[in-house]
Amino acid sequence: MLLMTQNPTCLIVDDETDIRELLTMTLERMDVDTYSASNIDEAKALLKQRAYALCLTDMQMPGGTGLDLVNYINEFHPGLPVAVITAHASAENAVSALKAGAFDYLSKPISLKQLRPVIEFALKLTTQSNIKSPNVLEMVGDSLPMAHVRSMIAKLARSQAPVYISGESGSGKELAAKLIHSNSSRGEGAFIAVNCGAIPENLMESEFFGYKKGSFTGASQDKEGMFQAANGGTLFLDEVADLPLAMQVKLLRAIQEKKIRMVGGTTEEAVDVRIISATHKNLNDMMEAGQFRQDLYYRLNVIQLKMPALRDRPDDIPLLANLLLAKLCTNQNIPLPEIEADTQTYLSKLQFPGNVRELENMLERALAMSDGKTITIEDLGNENESSRFHNATTSETLNKASFNSEQTQDLNLTDYLEDVEKRAIVKALEKTNNNKTAAAKLLGVSFRTLRYRLAKLGLAKESDLEIEDD
């Protein structure tokens, strides 16, 4: 039977006496009871005697390594956070420890500024596991791929390891990152998301690390960067493949050392940031082409989470469509129409290259085109729908003796599609009380495009539309 104590307890495993004493003094100041072992066998014996909130272990010891202890704890004491102490700048050992399931790592010489956050987050994690289960309900779907994603998010939330999320655009990579953060011991900290492809290269270093007053023209005061803003929380690097090589070097050092230097600064400051990165590009191909550093890839891709494409989980589409439609109606404060059964079936068969984002945009257009009571296939009005209309119309035309030539059939198809477009535009205008700017947004086109189509289809005069444009 494991003994329990009022204060949280930590098991320290290190063959160096001075390291054990330093860790013990630091933990006792934080009201954490400590027990020490000088080797793996002693650690295993202590683990059988009582429950611990945290284990700190050295990597290299006589009779076994820190990885051996991590594997032992994962098997016989699951849920116990383990932080591994590695030699200075030993990136390979740190990555190996995280891949094996370590909660975090510390580099020698141990900095108290880096040690305290590790202990605090581990204690939070232990407390969280006793009072709540991970909330991953926002990841909608009952399919096997989504069940796997939810399971992975729950596991990743219990670690501090960098996570690399791969997947197509619109597949939910940022949502997954937010859920990992919110369910982790960092959940009360900041979640800072940055699109790496949206920052000009000459501003990238100052945006990431901040700058000191006077470091360049226009720097009238000190300004913190995204690393400082995310300190104690999570930094989500979206489209990380777009980072230039020069910035990749600086990012690698910040991750390895857990320190940054502001532009124009002379000293380094410790930062405690968990990195989650994502991209829709193939980083392996980019590494082979020399466009992405291999060492950075291995530091970011400690644990990979692959988001499935929407077409790979068709059974989830009807449920997802209904939830997205309900969200749209709530945002617009309008009644919720019903998605017809054949429309749901049709949606389940689409490829959705834009994934969930494309589905949501399609439903937003359909909502504008519908009668407010039901969503039909015709209301969707997507490019795939044009092909369906073409097939249906051609088949219908072949059954009419009065249309025998291919030219006549093409003309009839054009008329039919223009009629569909007219009805869609009229419905959008009705929905927006004839506000053409709002109607254009609902239809997913620019105002100028809508103005042109209105004139071309005979729904308005160019002179009338010019007044609104002005």
3-state secondary structure the chain: CCECCCCCEEEEECCCHHHHHHHHHHHHHCCCEEEEECCHHHHHHHHCCECCCEEEEECEECCEEHHHHHHHHHHHCCCCCEEEEECCCCHHHHHHHHHHCCCEEEECCCCHHHHHHHHHHHHHHHHHHHHCCCCCCCCCCCCHHHHHHHHHHHHHCCCCCCEEEECCCCCCHHHHHHHHHHCCCCCCCCEEEEEHHHCCHHHHHHHHHCECCCCCCCCCCCECCHHHHCCCCEEEEECHHHCCHHHHHHHHHHHHHCEECCECCCCCEECCCEEEEEECCCHHHHHHCCCCCHHHHHHHCCEEEECCCHHHCHHHHHHHHHHHHHHHHHHHCCCCCEECHHHHHHHHCCCCCCHHHHHHHHHHHHHHHCCCCEECHHHHCCHHHHHHHHHHHHHHHHCCCCCCCHHHHHHHHHHHHHHHHHHHHHHHHHHCCCCHHHHHHHHCCCHHHHHHHHHHCCCCCHHHHHHHHC
Residue 48 has pLDDT above 90, yes or no: yes
Instruction: Please give the pLDDT value at position 70.
Output: 93
Average pLDDT over residues 139-160: 90
CA distances from 365 to 322, 368, 375, 380, 438 (A): 14, 5, 10, 7, 12
Rounded Cα distance, 1 and 49, in Å: 7
Instruction: Please give the pLDDT value at position 421.
Output: 78
Mean pLDDT rounded to a whole number for the chain? 84
Rounded Cα distance, 452 and 470, in Å: 15
Residue 163 has pLDDT above 90, yes or no: yes
Give the percent of the chain with pLDDT over 90. 52
Residue 180 has pLDDT above 90, yes or no: yes
Q: pTM of the prediction?
A: 0.70
> HSE-up of 431 (CA within 13 Å, CB side)?
28
pLDDT category at 389 given cuts 50, 70, 90 is very low
Residue 387 has pLDDT above 90, yes or no: no
pLDDT category at 89 given cuts 50, 70, 90 is low
Phi, psi torsion values for 344, nearest 5 degrees: -65, -40
| pLDDT digit string, tens, across residues 334-344 | 999 999 999 99
Residue 411 has pLDDT above 70, yes or no: no
Instruction: Please give the pLDDT value at position 360.
Output: 92
Instruction: Please give the pLDDT value at position 135.
Output: 57
Residue 122 has pLDDT above 60, yes or no: yes
Average pLDDT over residues 36-61: 93
Superfamily designation of domain 9-131? Response regulator (3.40.50.2300)
Rounded Cα distance, 70 and 13, in Å: 11
Q: Which residue has the higher pLDDT, 437 or 236?
A: 236
Phi, psi torsion values for 82, nearest 5 degrees: -125, 125
Which has the closest alpha carbon to 365: 376, 355, 352?
376
Average pLDDT over residues 419-438: 82
The distance between the two most distant Cα atoms of the chain, rounded to a whole number of Å, is 98
CATH architecture, domain defined by 312-469:
Orthogonal Bundle (1.10)
Instruction: Please give the pLDDT value at position 137.
Output: 52
Q: Are 276 and 177 in contact (CB under 8 A)?
A: yes
Q: With the CA atoms of 2, 7, 11 and 16 taken in that order, what torsion angle do they form, in degrees rounded to the nearest 10?
A: -140
pLDDT category at 237 given cuts 50, 70, 90 is very high
Instruction: Please give the pLDDT value at position 1.
Output: 47
Q: Are 303 and 207 in contact (CB under 8 A)?
A: no
Instruction: Please give the pLDDT value at position 410.
Output: 43
Residues 6+ apart with CB under 8 A from 174: 193, 236, 238, 278
Residue found by looking up tokens 């909502």 in the block: 367
Instruction: Please give the pLDDT value at position 464.
Output: 53
Rounded Cα distance, 201 and 321, in Å: 39
- Quick one: how far is CA 126 from the chain centroid? 24
Check if 144-308 and 312-469 are the same fold. no
Highest mean pLDDT among 104-108, 190-194, 366-370 belongs to: 190-194
Domain boundaries, the chain: 9-131, 144-308, 312-469
Average pLDDT over residues 203-223: 89
Instruction: Please give the pLDDT value at position 393.
Output: 37
| pLDDT digit string, tens, across residues 32-42 | 999 999 999 99
Instruction: Please give the pLDDT value at position 461.
Output: 53
Angle between helices 383-398 and 406-431 (to 10 degrees): 130
Residue 95 has pLDDT above 80, yes or no: yes
| pLDDT digit string, tens, across residues 260-317 | 999 998 899 989 999 999 999 999 999 999 999 999 999 999 999 999 999 999 999 9
> HSE-up of 394 (CA within 13 Å, CB side)?
9
Sign of CA dihedral 33, 18, 78, 122: positive
Looking at the DSSP bridge assignments, the partners of residue 192 are: 235
From the CB of residue 39, how many other CB atoms can be counted at a distance below 10 Å?
16
Least confident of 4-18, 78-92, 240-254, 358-372: 78-92
Give the percent of the chain with pLDDT over 70. 86
Instruction: Please give the pLDDT value at position 88.
Output: 58
Instruction: Please give the pLDDT value at position 451.
Output: 80
Instruction: Please give the pLDDT value at position 392.
Output: 40
Q: Are 208 and 164 in contact (CB under 8 A)?
A: no
Phi, psi torsion values for 374, nearest 5 degrees: -140, 155
β-strand pairing of 60-61 with 64-65: antiparallel
Instruction: Please give the pLDDT value at position 350.
Output: 93
Instruction: Please give the pLDDT value at position 107.
Output: 82
**Class of the CATH domain delimited by 144-308:** alpha beta
Rounded Cα distance, 277 and 103, in Å: 18
Average pLDDT over residues 316-343: 93
Which amino acid is present at 31?
Answer: D
Least confident of 72-76, 218-222, 337-341, 378-382: 378-382
Structure tokens given for 261: 């230097």
pLDDT category at 99 given cuts 50, 70, 90 is confident
pLDDT category at 127 given cuts 50, 70, 90 is low
Residue 470 has pLDDT above 50, yes or no: no
Residue 4 has pLDDT above 80, yes or no: no
CA distances from 74 to 39, 64, 154, 259, 430 (A): 18, 16, 16, 30, 61
Instruction: Please give the pLDDT value at position 109.
Output: 80
Highest mean pLDDT among 132-136, 294-298, 410-414 belongs to: 294-298
Residue 153 has pLDDT above 80, yes or no: yes
Least confident of 112-116, 137-141, 328-332: 137-141
Residues 6+ apart with CB under 8 A from 247: 201, 204, 205, 208
